[in-house]
Amino acid sequence: MIPGAYYAKQTPMNLGFETLRWIGGCDGMLELIDQRLLPQRMEYLRCENPQTLFEAIVTLAVRGAPAIGVAAAYGICLGLRQLPGNAPLLQALEQMEKTANYLAASRPTAVNLFWALERMKKTAAQFAADNPAAQAGILRQILLNEARVIENEDKEMCFAIGRNGQSFIPDGKAILTHCNAGALATAGIGTALAPMYLAHQQGKKFTVYVDETRPLLQGARLTAWELTRAGISAVLICDNMAAGLMKADKIAAVFAGADRIAANGDTANKIGTLSLSILCRCFSVPFYVAAPSSTFDLSIPDGSHIPIEQRKGDEVRGFAGQTTSPENIAVYNPAFDVTDAGDITAIITERGIIPSPGSDNIRRCL
List residues with catalytic annotation. 259
Least distance CB 25 / its own copies (angstroms): 36
Q: Which is nearer to its own copies, 126 or 233 (CB)?
A: 233
Beta-sheet pairing, 260-262 with 296-297? parallel
Least distance CB 210 / its own copies (angstroms): 8
Q: Which is nearer to its own copies, 126 or 240 (CB)?
A: 240
Q: Which is nearer to its own copies, 138 or 331 (CB)?
A: 331
Nearest CA to 294 among 261, 267, 263? Answer: 261
Least distance CB 308 / its own copies (angstroms): 8
Least distance CB 126 / its own copies (angstroms): 41
Taking residue 54's Cβ as centre, other Cβ atoms within 10 Å add up to 20
Q: Report the distance separating Cα 100 and Cα 248, nearest Å.
A: 49
Q: Which is nearer to its own copies, 149 or 235 (CB)?
A: 235
Least distance CB 243 / its own copies (angstroms): 4
Question: Is 350 within 8 Å of 293 (Cβ atoms)?
Answer: yes
Question: Is 352 within 8 Å of 164 (Cβ atoms)?
Answer: yes
Question: Is 222 within 8 Å of 236 (Cβ atoms)?
Answer: no
Distances (CA, A) of 312 to 106, 251, 255, 324: 14, 33, 27, 15
Q: Which is nearer to its own copies, 101 or 233 (CB)?
A: 233
Q: Which is nearer to its own copies, 78 or 289 (CB)?
A: 289
Burial class (CB in 10 A: 0-12, 13-18, 19+), 169: buried
Q: Which is nearer to its own copies, 87 or 331 (CB)?
A: 331
- DSSP-assigned states of every residue in 242-297: HHHHHHTT--SEEEE--SEEETTS-EEEETTHHHHHHHHHHHT--EEEE--GGGEE
Question: Is 149 within 8 Å of 116 (Cβ atoms)?
Answer: no
Q: Residue 266 phi/psi, 5° resolution? A: -55, 135
Q: Which residues bind its own copies (CB under 8 A)?
A: 39-40, 209, 211-215, 217, 220-221, 224-225, 228, 233-245, 247, 271-272, 274-275, 278-279, 281-282, 313, 316-326, 329-334, 337-338
Taking residue 98's Cβ as centre, other Cβ atoms within 10 Å add up to 12
Least distance CB 115 / its own copies (angstroms): 25
CA angle 318, 323, 326 (to 5 degrees): 105
Partner residues linked to 336 by β-bridges: 270
Q: Can you say how many angstroms the Cα of residue 61 is from the centroid of all Cα atoms in its chain?
A: 12
Nearest CA to 348 among 304, 298, 289, 297? Answer: 289
Least distance CB 109 / its own copies (angstroms): 13
Q: Report the distance separating Cα 343 and Cα 267, nearest Å.
A: 10
